[in-house]
Structure formats: C-alpha cells, structure tokens
Amino acid sequence: MFLEQLTLKNYRNYEQGCWQFQNKVNVILGENAQGKTNIMESIYVLSMAKSHRTTNDKDLIRWDKDYAKIEGKVGKKNGPIFLQLTVSKKGKKAKLNYIEQAKLSSYVGHMNVVMFAPEDLNLVKGSPQIRRRFIDMEIGQVSPVYMHELGQYQKVLQQRNQYLKLLQSKKQTDETFLDVLTEQLVELAVKITLKRYEFIELLQTWAKPIHAEISRGHEQLAIHYCPSVDVLDKQQWSRIVEVYNDKFTQIKTKEIERGTTLIGPHRDDLSFTINGKDVQTFGSQGQQRTTALSLKLAEIDLIFSEIGEYPILLLDDVLSELDDFRQTHLLNAIQGKVQTFVTTTSIDGIEHRVVRDADVYEVVSGQMMRR
C-alpha cells in the first residue's frame, strides 16, 4: 500500500495543503521547527486516529481554529481507499470511503504505518510505558478488535480505580461492586495478555534473523513478554482467569489501601536479551539501537505476513541517529519494498541510491513544496 495523496486543513502549523506522492522514498527536508514532523505525524494520525506525540487531540488543531482535518487517498492492491479524520474540541470523526464510522476501531487498520523516530531508540532502555505503547499500537494495526478490547479494559480500569479510591477514603464500604469490576477486568485482561503473547512470538520470528544479519551473525536476539501476573501463553484460558482471580484476592486489601489497581496488562513489560544477557542492563548503546532497528524492520515483515501488503514506513529524523552501517542496512532493507517518508535537515553525506532516487520536498514555515 502507499499514500497517493495527503490533504491537510488547520493541522498544527499547516493552514492548508495538498500533496501527491509516489510509491517510493519521499524525503522531506527542512530546518527544525518548520513542520517536517507535523507532516509525519499527520500521516500517522490518519492511519491510527491518534498521535504518537501527544495524548491531547486539541494539540493537533491550528491554534486559532476550531477543527483540523486530514484526508488521504491510499493505493492498495484491491483498489484505492479514501480516509478522512476530523479532530475538533468535541472529539474525532472518521470516514472510510466517505462513510462515517461509528467506532474508531472499524476505521483503524485500513492504512498501516510503521513509525521510526528518535524516541523509538529508547524502546529498550526507556520506561515500560514506552514498550506497552509499542505493543498496543502495532497489534492494533493488524487486529482492530484488540484496540476495542484495550479501550474497554481502560474504561473498566478507570472505573475500578475510582471505586478503589472511594473505598480507600471510606466514602464507600461495600466491596461487592469492586468484585463485579474485577470480574470484568479479568476477562478483558486475559484477552489482551493472550494477544500480546501471540504478537511477541510473531515479532521474534521476524526480528531474530534481522538482528543476526545486522550483527554479522554474532548476536542472537530474544524478546520476552513480562506480564505482571505469573501466567504463560501456553496455559488454558480458564487457568489464566483462575491465576488472575487468585492474585486479585491476595492483593485486595493492599489495592484498597493504595487506591489503585496493582496488576494487569497496564503494568506489563517487555524485555530483550542478546546471547542470553539483558540488553537494557548489560547491552551497549549500539546493541540497544540494533535491537530497536531490528524490531522496527520486523514490524514491516510482520504486517506484510498478516495482511498481504507492506505498510508505509515513516522515518522521522532517525537517519542522523544511526551510524553508517546501521543506516546502510536500513536503507538496503527498504529499497524498492515499502513507500517511505524520511524527514531530515540535510541529505548531505548520505551516499545511498535510495536517497539519490528519492522525491525531495522542502518545508519552510508550514509550507511544503516539491523540489
């Protein structure tokens, strides 16, 4: 798949603009704070109906306007599709082929993107929240039902935390409603946990040979899912439910004392090992970056294996963060394979055919022009 046309209105520092793109590498040049990353973000938001940079949708709207609109024409093997997302102070409206979608989960997944930005290099050494977000966003692209279940989990979790706070402050004393919320939370938690296990297994299948190739055969990468409850992916559904219920019973008093939910998918994590050693603790910066690069390249193949089309790759200011060897490997891997958008302040010094053959755009103060 590839993005044929992008139209923006009142998006960040873009008043309006419409651009046509080829199914190849598109380089977006510009100094910092001119709007390069805003273009990348708009493509991501068009795909995922949420930003990778902010949780506040109002940030996407041009400062003196009431709404922002992103439209895209996406070329796919079965013909083009048309996507439209409008963000206002009242919320978001999504249209697929000009028909408004009742749920965002029925919109997400029709255009797939893989974003690789400098903050993704913190995937290994950063907080567990970064790794959970990585898992959730990627599973959501190939499994819209997962995004729906995750949204339901977040709602029940919020209700449960609110009720725990009422029990903590003695404004409520009846624990029956807490038990009802726990039962609902466990059912959703098990679905999310099993889907994450399945995803990590697939991701490892693709990431392991990529990492071995980048490390010239010297390193073996392994990815481990670390749930906050001692469950295994090979266990039966009923057994995992039982483990969750037992754990919630054990920590019930502690949760009321603290006024928050202490276990569940919102507390899970990932870990990575190279040749059996933990990369976060013992890995060099180079190994950590190779691990992040391997994961991102693996996502491309994983999505292709699941949906039969390659996603769109967004490389936001990341080439300058990689040394020549990793940069060359990345560019070789995408050559002639995926439509790619690359933002950078300069292409000087990048001696690679992919960049030489690219379409180049220049951004100045919220205006983007083809060179």
Task: Please indicate if the annotation marks 343 as binding a ligand.
Answer: no
Task: Please indicate if the annotation marks 31 as binding a ligand.
Answer: yes
Task: Please choose, from the candidates 300, 288, 290, the residue with its C-alpha nearest in 3D space to the C-alpha of residue 115.
Answer: 300
Task: Please indicate if the annotation marks 264 as binding a ligand.
Answer: no
Asked if residue 223 lies in contact with residue 307, where contact means CB atoms within 8 angstroms, the answer is: no
* CA atoms within a 13 Å half-sphere pointing along the CA-CB vector of 223: 27
Task: Please indicate if the annotation marks 161 as binding a ligand.
Answer: no
Task: Please indicate if the annotation marks 207 as binding a ligand.
Answer: no
Number of C-beta neighbours around residue 32 at 10 A: 8
Residues 6 or more apart from 177 whose CB is under 8 A from it? 163
Task: Please indicate if the annotation marks 191 as binding a ligand.
Answer: no
Number of C-beta neighbours around residue 201 at 10 A: 12
Asked if residue 53 lies in contact with residue 41, where contact means CB atoms within 8 angstroms, the answer is: yes
Task: Please indicate if the annotation marks 286 as binding a ligand.
Answer: no
3-class SS of residue 27: strand
3-class SS of residue 195: helix
User: What does the alpha-carbon distance between residue 371 and residue 99 come to, in Å, rounded to a whole number?
Assistant: 35
Quick one: DSSP state of residue 219?
A: -
Q: Which residues are annotated as a binding site for ATP?
A: 30-37
Q: Which residues are annotated as a binding site?
A: 30-37
